[in-house]
Amino acid sequence: MSLLLNGFTVLCVILGGVFFLAGTVGLLRFPDAASRLHALTKPDNLGLGLIVLGILPRVADPVDALKLVLIWVLVQFGAGTAAQLLGYHARVDRRAR
Amino acid sequence: MSQLLDIVLVAMTLSLAVWTVMARDVFSATVGFMAFGLLLAIIWVQLAAPDVAMTEAAIGAGASGVLFLRFIARRDALGASIGKPRPDDAPVPTGLRIACGALCGIVAMALGIAVLALPSPAPSLAQAAAASLPRTGLGNPIAAVLMAYRALDTLLESVVLVLALIGIWSLSPDSAWGSSPDPFPSPAPAGPLTLFARLLPPVGIIVGIHLTWIGATAPGGKFQGATVLAAMWLLAMMAGLARPPAIGATWLRVLLAAGPTIFLAIGFSGWLFADAFLAYTDAAAKPIIVLIEAVLTPSIAAILAMMLIGPPALAHMRAPDT
């Protein structure tokens, strides 16, 4: 059972890391602001989500687990809001030019 | 493995520091500085100093970064209002550059020598701090240092914050004195930020109070908690849901001064009930410390928020009454 849980954690955290890596490569390589934002929001959402999911079975205290999930939810809100604002201003800047 | 992480962290921090110094425009340098603060916070976590890490992330990266960004926005707006759209960085004379570089180099070298010259093992008061911990009734030795052993430093810190705010306010023109600081430019599109500013504060206020409360027994404390509270107020103001208060308002001034004043009063009462300034009797130590933190937190939060909003100035240069 614990082997299964450990495997689950390793798999989830590695997958989350892959999303962070892919997001970073996208941020550096994509041609315009909109697609770079798209690359940026993937690690925030899926990458962090998978890492939190992977850590959850290892947390003894349910309150700590709740905190981890709350962190993920709050990062969703923060990243989503920032992406909206950045995307809007990128579009306005492009029209102005 | 952990050593590899340390090496990567140090390499990233150093290269980011160099990049921040070399950055050509103020905005890039500010963004670099904020990222630098976050990396520094991770280093503090690696050094098993979560209290310092939280302060670095909240004040060093967060509050200072927002302060710089707000400065850049105001500078550009002020430039536009006097007909200079970008009052850009005048070229710094080469002599001044060399002098600054030399001074920084000397300071860095002196710090390096001081660190290398430390005897091994380094002198430490950690044993003494831990030994007296039960007398304060606190569980977190950091809180004991800040609120009991070296309470004078914390008192002076809170007074310095008030003085800094007075310094910022005194930059406002005579005609604007006592009125509200300039509101944040209304965000476009308003929707996402307004939603965010409605959803986050209920959570953030609880987190801020929790950080302050838990500081007595675990990593956390009033500065970290107050920064979170200040951020929530600022967020509401940025989204246009709250207006900056007039700096002449009595309630605001009472709020700003209450924390340091009560702290000072408790300090003087130490002469009456214990044997010295800022001394607490053992039995009352914990309640007194909690009381000080409880009154200091809202004051620090309000001071930080008012510092970041800045002095009232721009609106009065454009129109007589806004």
Question: Residue B295 in contact with residue B259, Cβ under 8 Å?
Answer: yes
The verdict on A66 touching B (C-beta cutoff 8 Å) is no
For B147, other C-beta atoms within 10 Å of its C-beta total 29
Q: Give the mean model confidence (pLDDT) for residues B171-181.
A: 84
Q: Output the pTM of the full model.
A: 0.86
Question: Residue B158 in contact with residue B299, Cβ under 8 Å?
Answer: yes
pLDDT on residue B97: 86
* C-alpha closest to that of B315 among B179, B153, B212: B179
CA-based nearest residue in chain A for residue B202: A74
* ipTM entry: 0.83
pLDDT on residue B46: 92
The verdict on A81 touching B (C-beta cutoff 8 Å) is yes
Question: Residue B220 in contact with residue B211, Cβ under 8 Å?
Answer: yes
pLDDT at B30 over 50: yes
Please tell me the distance from the alpha carbon of residue B7 to that of residue B119, in angstroms, as a whole number: 24
| Of B188, B189, B196, Cβ closest to residue A77 | B196
* C-alpha closest to that of B13 among B33, B40, B34: B40
Q: In chain B, which residues have their Cβ closer than 8 Å to the Cβ of A74?
A: 200, 203
What count of CB pairs under 8 Å joins A to B?
24
pLDDT digits (tens, 9 = 90+) for B32-84: 999 999 999 999 999 988 889 998 998 888 889 999 988 888 887 777 777 66
CB contact under 8 A, A77 and B200: yes
Element (DSSP H or E) covering residue A46:
none
Shortest Cα distance, chain B CAs vs residue A24, angstroms: 15
